[in-house]
Amino acid sequence: MQFLSAAFIILWVISFALYYLAPKTRQWMILAVASGLFYVAGTGGIPIGILLTGAGAYACGLYLKRSLAAQKHALSDLADKEEKKAVKLGFERRRRRVQILYFVYSLGILLCTKYMVVILPFLRQMGMTTSRSDAFFERVVMPLGISFYTLTAIGYVVDVGREQCGAQENPVKLFLFLAYFPAITQGPFNRFAKLQGEFEREHVFDYERMLFGVQRFVWGAFKKLVIADRINLFVGNVFGSAQEGIPGSIYAAAVVLYMLQLYADFSGYMDMALGISETFDIALPENFKRPYFSKSVAEFWRRWHITLGTWFKDYVMFSFVMSGTGRKIGKAAKKRWPGFGKHVTGVIGTMLVWLLTGMWHGRTASYILWGVYYGIIMCVSLVLERQYGIWREKLHIKGGKCYSLFAVVRTCAIVFVADVLIRAESLSQAGEIYRAFFMDFRLKEGILGVTDWGLSRYGFLLLAAACLLWLAVSIWEERGKDVRRTLAACPMAVRWCCYYGVALVLLITGIYGGSYDTAAFLYQSF
């Protein structure tokens, strides 16, 4: 079930009505049932993956809770400091073992599922599958949102162990946390302490909040249908073309448009997810903060898919650096290289995070390369940050508007190079594209032939108008203003003109039907 489908809208409207009619202490149940229905409809089969991962997280959470309580009890009986330390260490070790066991278990399910697509054709070739086993894998082993709920569940287990939240004793409530339907497909990644608090709060119907939620959903649909799906007509044709000798200028246009498509598609989904959740008075974390306004790659990744970045930083990077191994490496490096040594664990942690981020996004070597590329850029920029400051001072660069614009363009250029890797159909096509940029750009031919790739002159004009509107809204938001509140303060006639205007634009200029599946979001495949 997709957000942009009649079935989903019906589910949303019915659960919304029941949610505010239900007793305040039972509202979470409506969300749990709606999430269950959404999940089963989306998977089209038995949701065994999420049940296995969820059951493991539930059991692990309870074990950690009991172990922490037993530790407190045992420590309260002791007076000697050394003895206390030893007892605490014993409990900590046992908890860590259980947590590691859970990580292996849940990541094992994730990896088996993710790489089943690679393994299954191989098993088929060897004659090791039957039509029944194929059907089983298709229905059971490809669960919806597995990458999202697996990381969310791991985060929950770590947080319980770190005493940053209590363990959930109600398995249905834990299921709701993992499978909350606005977030299950592509995120944002939620933290248990925060989202659980939202579910347990009493929610009273508020007309303005409902209106704001719907507005945000429609804005997300606008970005998806009018911008992302329109761009796909061009980008899909260029990258999917078997034609040889495509000018570098056409490839350059396709990559720039792909950067916009990916952003419009993913942030459009997030607007829809956050808008739906807002109508239920459940606040989800923001996942985008206008990333293409960033002045550095580090800033770009603080503004793009924010909750994934925070997840990797909190649960991978800091866990590694503060672990026994991380500390040993850090101390040895500081001794060996007094200046650079202090950066070594940070560099290893950053590379580890980016390698895993690449693997999380895709199965191919292109994604690994993409991760390594970002890892190297992040490490170099962070290690040399102080040096950059000295250079800027020497060159009398004071960071005015011109420098800011240059920094934004530089960041976009770095992202541009990376996006070739993940959008090209293969590594060899990516190589051909890079070659064409430098050896075969043919600007004039590109300009004259740009409308031959699935997007007409009218299509480009429409796209430009939509992007300008998007840019205006983004600049408004970047200045700390809320577009919806600004609109709410306008006279009724202006407001309704805007509503009808956006609805008409969506209906007339959105890309619907045909051979292209409008409802499929790009990030769903990650």
Partner 1 sequence: MEEKVLEILEEYCEEAISYTGDNMMEEGVIDSFTVINVVSELEDVFDIEIDAKYVVAENFRNKEAIIELVRQLTEE
Sequence-separated (6 or more) residues with CB below 8 Å from residue 62: 167, 169
Q: Which is nearer to partner 1, 318 or 406 (CB)?
A: 318
Q: How far is the CB of 194 from partner 1 (least distance, A)?
A: 12
Contacting residues toward partner 1, per CB under 8 A: 162-164, 298-299, 302, 313-314, 317-319, 321-323, 330, 334, 342-343, 345-346, 349-350, 382-383, 385
With beta carbons less than 8 A apart as the criterion, state whether 429 and 422 touch. Answer: no
The residue type found at 288 is: F
Element (H or E) spanning 94, and its range?
helix 81-125
Q: Is 13 exposed, middle or buried (0-12, 13-18, 19+ CB in 10 A)?
A: exposed
Q: How far is the CB of 345 from partner 1 (least distance, A)?
A: 6
Q: Which is nearer to partner 1, 88 or 209 (CB)?
A: 88
Q: How far is the CB of 330 from partner 1 (least distance, A)?
A: 6
Q: Which is nearer to partner 1, 322 or 427 (CB)?
A: 322
Q: Which is nearer to partner 1, 163 or 517 (CB)?
A: 163
How far apart are the C-alpha atoms of 238 and 231, rounded to whole Å?
11
Place of tokens 């590109």: 446
Q: How far is the CB of 218 from partner 1 (least distance, A)?
A: 28
How far apart are the C-alpha atoms of 254 and 261, rounded to whole Å?
10
Sequence-separated (6 or more) residues with CB below 8 Å from residue 408: 292, 293, 294, 295
What number of residues does the chain have? 526
Q: Tell which residue, 270, 199, 260, 208, has the closest CA to residue 234.
A: 260
Q: Which is nearer to partner 1, 389 or 501 (CB)?
A: 389
Q: Which is nearer to partner 1, 342 or 485 (CB)?
A: 342
The residue type found at 447 is: I
Q: How far is the CB of 353 from partner 1 (least distance, A)?
A: 9
With beta carbons less than 8 A apart as the criterion, state whether 349 and 316 touch. Answer: yes
Helices (H), 162-204: 171-179, 192-200
Q: How far is the CB of 349 from partner 1 (least distance, A)?
A: 7
Q: Which is nearer to partner 1, 176 or 348 (CB)?
A: 348
Q: How far is the CB of 163 from partner 1 (least distance, A)?
A: 7
Q: Which is nearer to partner 1, 318 or 458 (CB)?
A: 318
With beta carbons less than 8 A apart as the criterion, state whether 473 and 193 touch. Answer: no
With beta carbons less than 8 A apart as the criterion, state whether 403 and 397 touch. Answer: yes
Q: How far is the CB of 380 from partner 1 (least distance, A)?
A: 11
Q: How far is the CB of 85 from partner 1 (least distance, A)?
A: 11
Q: Which is nearer to partner 1, 143 or 326 (CB)?
A: 326
Element (H or E) spanning 60, and its range?
helix 48-76
The region that residue 75 occupies, defined by phi over 0 for left and psi between -120 and 50 for alpha, beta otherwise, is alpha
